[in-house]
Amino acid sequence: MAITTDDSYVQWRPGEPDTGPMFFKWKNIYIDVRDSTEERQGMANSHPAYKLHGVVCWQNFNLDEYLRRKEFPVTCESDGDEMMKIRAILMEFQKELKEIKKELKLQKTTSTGQNRDEIGIKTNHETQLHNRKKCPSLPTNIPYGKITCSDSNHQGSICNITCLQNHIIKGENTLYCENDFNWSHNLPTCVCNECEVGEYCEQGTSWHVLQQMIRNKPLISLVYYAGYQIKCSTVFNLFIGSTTECIDSKTSHAVKCTHGARLTAIEGAVAELIRQMVQKKFYPMPCDIAKMPKGC
């Protein structure tokens, strides 16, 4: 660094130069010129960042005051070799920066292209799925049952139908969406077992089951059939035997039956009441009606 002055008054700024291991690269010198009232002015050393139009100078002063005083008629020139090195480093840095920007731009373009390709593939796949031919749509549930399909209603889909507890399936429990885009079978239904009725198939319509209940409790006065309550009372007569009267609790429809054996009279009265209420369409038909007594 070459510093030329016209006056020996030029000197280091108070506290300058900075020396020691921390400042070993502070080889550039600049002139700090301030107002006449400012004590901290003069030469100082610093790192290469301080330069002005290629000249290592930092001037922070009042120009009019400086021209009037003429206390520092100095010129600050930089060493040519040093400036060449600095410029070479700067050019190399600018070149590297340019390459980095170019690489980032290429990566961004490639990434954008890949995203577009992925979006295009996804869109095409979704379009293909949407355009696939289908069988007629099925509901997700049926009364007292549900439907589970492997691939919705698309060709090749397999649908399984399951029924709720106490219900059985009436029809095929597996449907296939076939090549002609029709289901292999009609949609089944979920129904109660043959001898059960009610919302949850909890009410029996088997005469055999009701008969066993009566025989296990010969003094029974209250029986249930398909959820309907039947009250029965028996009177014994020495000459004619037992007479049983059974009454439907809801409609008060009554039937009497007389027989020499008490149990037979009860079974006859219950069976005849059920038969008449079935004819009136109040009761459902027993699933084993052929086993019922023919009358009193």
pLDDT tens-digit map of 1-40: 333 434 333 567 787 777 777 776 776 666 666 655 556 6
Q: Is there a cis peptide before residue 286, judged by omega within 30 degrees of 0? A: no
**234, 265 Cβ separation under 8 angstroms:** yes
| Closest C-alpha among 18, 16, 44 to residue 30 | 44
The ranges of the chain annotated as CATH 2.10.70.10 are 141-192
Write the CA distances from 241 to 29, 208, 260, 293, integer angstroms. 140, 25, 4, 18
Output the pLDDT for position 131: 65
Which of the four pLDDT bands, split at 50, 70 and 90, describes residue 117? low
Q: What kind of architecture, by CATH, is found in domain 203-291? A: 2-Layer Sandwich (3.30)
Percent of the chain residues topping a pLDDT of 90: 41
Which of the four pLDDT bands, split at 50, 70 and 90, describes residue 67? very low
The ranges of the chain annotated as CATH 3.30.160 are 203-291
Does the reported pTM lie above 0.75? Answer: no
Tokens of 135: 């069988």
Q: Give the 3-state secondary structure of residue 149.
A: strand
Which of the four pLDDT bands, split at 50, 70 and 90, describes residue 52? very low
Question: Which has the minimum average pLDDT: 74-78, 136-140, 157-161, 197-201?
Answer: 74-78
Arithmetic mean of pLDDT, 263-267: 93
Residue 65 pLDDT exceeds 80: no
**Packed helices 262-279 and 207-216: angle between N→C axes, nearest 10 degrees:** 150
Write the CA distances from 209 to 33, 166, 218, integer angstroms. 120, 17, 14
**149, 138 Cβ separation under 8 angstroms:** yes
Tell the CATH topology of 141-192.
Complement Module; domain 1 (2.10.70)
Phi and psi at residue 191, to the nearest 5°: -130, 170
* DSSP letter (8 states) at residue 198: S
